Chain A
Amino acid sequence: MTARAMNFVLSLMGGKTVKIKQFAKSLALSATVAAGPALAADDEVVIGVSAALSGWAAGTYAAPAEGLKLYLDRLNEAGGVNGKTVSLVIYDDQGDASRAASNAKRFLTQDDVQMIISVSTSATFAPIISQATRRKVPVLFAGSVCPAETMPPAKPLLYCSTGFSAVHDSIAMVDYLRDRESSDATVGFSAMGIPISRAGMEEAERMVLKADMKSAGVEIAPPGTADYTSFATKLIQNGADSVLSWAPWAVQIRFVDALRKQGWKGNAYVGHLAEAELEMMKMKDPNLFTLGTNVMLFEDSEATQALVNAVKESGSNLHPEAILDGWVGGIVVEGVLEQLGEDTSAEAINAVMRNIEIDTKGLRGGPITWTDDNHFRETIYYRAYRWSDEKGAMEIARDWKAYEVE
């Protein structure tokens, strides 16, 4: 097939012409890549990445994995940090525990990695944690939801830089909701039938009830639900004035859709996940609020410009916002390398990670600070965003608010 014909075909992928070379790169990332070196040079840090590049969870995790790779590739092209470069070994786990276990084993027995990064579902955590802990190799969750083991009192070797967290997002969303809604409002909750989403929304319901507001119930939709209309109907019939949702973005937004299709006009509060900005710009719903720890690209800061330019230069057709958590993961790796001495062993890397403050370069509300006891962050910053009909654009609904992580 000629290049011209190929570009015509590629233009059918959403109207953008993707360079053939980059298309081939995307194919390579999507396939299982086994590119780890047999022996790492002393000035090279080998990092294993287990990511959901395909399968049901790829919509959430493939983009951050790409972001991580983009950042570290650029770091290497610029000569690395203090003479040290990063060699990434990326394997697809499809969000599946058994594949993640197999990936972890390969990282530790064949690829000789000094760190593992997880960009995948919570189902993959246990096997990775188990294997890494046995070999004393640190694990960074960058783009995956933060496991409880990274929060105080943190377990050794486990760290998280991901922007979202069910419990902390729920705390921030309820706090913001209480500012906006009347004190006798009835709040409905929507979750997906996975432990982390259910836990987040059940905790949010408890907080709402504690604040003497009323609950319209927590609607839990099984994974793979085709139609959310009935779940939405139940909340509407229970008198929900506003709705809180924390689940994969696809579930959150389909639930909001289902509410709006039935003429419900209340305020909806959803977790800020990778696809939020692009989707909210299309929906143009002024009563839809998202709260999260990452900035949005419309803010057009120096940091976001760097990210947007990187994506443009790579020829990727991913939306820059979708890769942000992985990009921040790359910033974390860079921060660790900056403080790493001559010794690049897993033990040395872990020693650096145990007490570190990493500048997030304006992509978050503040630095990521890890201590012996807290491998999540000491303070977490949330911002609220919404679509503004008046401005015809996204806007900041509430600026950064800090919450101490206890």
Chain B
Amino acid sequence: MQILANIVVLTSLYALVASGYVLVYKVSRVLNLAHGELMILGAYLLVATSAGIASDPLVAIALTAMFSIVVGLSVYLLLMRKMTGQPVLAAVLTTVALGILLRGAMVLIWGPQQLNVAAMISFDNASIALTDSVRVSTAALWLVVCTFLVYLGLLAFLHMSRWGMRMRASGQNALLAAQRGINLHTVYALAWTLSTFSGSLTGVLVTLDSRIDVNMAVIGLKAFPAALVGGLDSLPGALIGAGVIAALEVLLIHYVNPLLSDVVPFLVLIAILIVRPWGLYGTKEELNRV
């Protein structure tokens, strides 16, 4: 049962990260390879707000959420907006450069040392007994709850709100959407903002559960197979992809060889790309666009 709990927590982690990839790709066809770094930036923003601005942890977290929205908006307005209409590869390479820049900036500002943010904001990451044999940390439980709420919120937003429909329309056919009066820049900015927000939320929760240093951005890379396996333009697919990858990782650690847990998810990714390149729930026509 503990193994199942571990799978659920890891699924939540990968799913929350993958939602960021899916949001941006679904709407703008750009693969945001700086998502891992944006996720970690959220954690460092919590360090900044708790150290310099707010002594109350809740206020610090709320401010972090606000700043992450500003970061997402800024990334689009100052950088990605310029890439609109350019070849997809150029936009993707821009995100790679952004990731490297962010990583370097974070090291310069906050240093390379690992930071114990939970201790900084006096967050008690207590162990919670769900049953006699199953325990999770407080932050892990929050991660599961937040993933559920984020996915529920995003699905509701995309399918029931006017702006959500505009985002989906832009993703399906940008030219037609523009001709129908949808402001693509606004839609893309919204996608980047929501993606960065979900990434920052992940970063905050991960750092409260563990510690933070810039190398944690590798979580972004590990969640990438989850997004691709599920389908880069499908949120439910990302959730299922995350479940597949997380289950594989945890079961390999327990029953086969822990070192395979790092490698096998990418083997699964390659297999999916060969057999069903649009992913389990992605749109088949996406293959042509990529």
What residues of chain A have their CB less than 8 Å away from a CB belonging to chain B?
8, 11-15, 26-27, 30, 54, 56, 58-59, 62-63, 193, 219-222, 224-227, 229-231, 233-234, 236-237, 249-250, 253-254, 257, 260-263, 275, 279, 282-283, 317-319, 322
Contacts and interface: CB of A to CB of B under 8 A. Distances in A.
Interface string B119-151: 110000101010000011100100000000000
B137 A261 contact: yes
- Mostly, the A contact residues are helix
Contacts of A58: 107, 112
B140 A261 contact: yes
A63 B210 contact: no
Nearest to A222: B262
A233 B107 contact: no
Contacts of B53: 12
B116 A282 contact: yes
B110 interface: yes
Nearest to B50: A15
Given A227-B13, A230-B254, A59 B2 contact: no
Contacts, number: 131
Nearest to A316: B111
Contact of A233 (B110, B213, B254): B254
A275 B137 contact: no
22 contacts: A12-B47, A12-B51, A12-B52, A14-B110, A62-B111, A221-B258, A222-B261, A225-B261, A225-B262, A226-B206, A226-B218, A229-B140, A236-B2, A250-B114, A250-B211, A254-B211, A257-B211, A260-B127, A261-B135, A261-B137, A282-B116, A318-B113
A63 B218 contact: no
B78 interface: no
Contact of A261 (B136, B222, B249, B262): B136
Interface stretch (B3-11, B26-34, B158-166, B167-175): B3-11
Contacts of B258: 219-222, 231, 234
A288 B226 CA distance: 36
Main secondary structure of the interface of B (DSSP, over half): helix
Interface in B7-59: 9-10, 13, 47-49, 51-53
A318 B2 contact: no
Interface in B245-284: 249-250, 253-254, 258-259, 261-263
A226 B107 contact: no
Contacts of B113: 59, 63, 275, 318-319, 322
Nearest to A26: B108
Contacts of A30: 107-108
Nearest to A52: B112
Given A226-B13, A261-B209, 20 more contacts: A12-B51, A13-B51, A14-B51, A15-B52, A220-B259, A222-B263, A224-B215, A224-B262, A225-B262, A229-B9, A229-B10, A230-B261, A231-B258, A233-B3, A253-B114, A260-B127, A261-B127, A275-B114, A283-B119, A322-B113
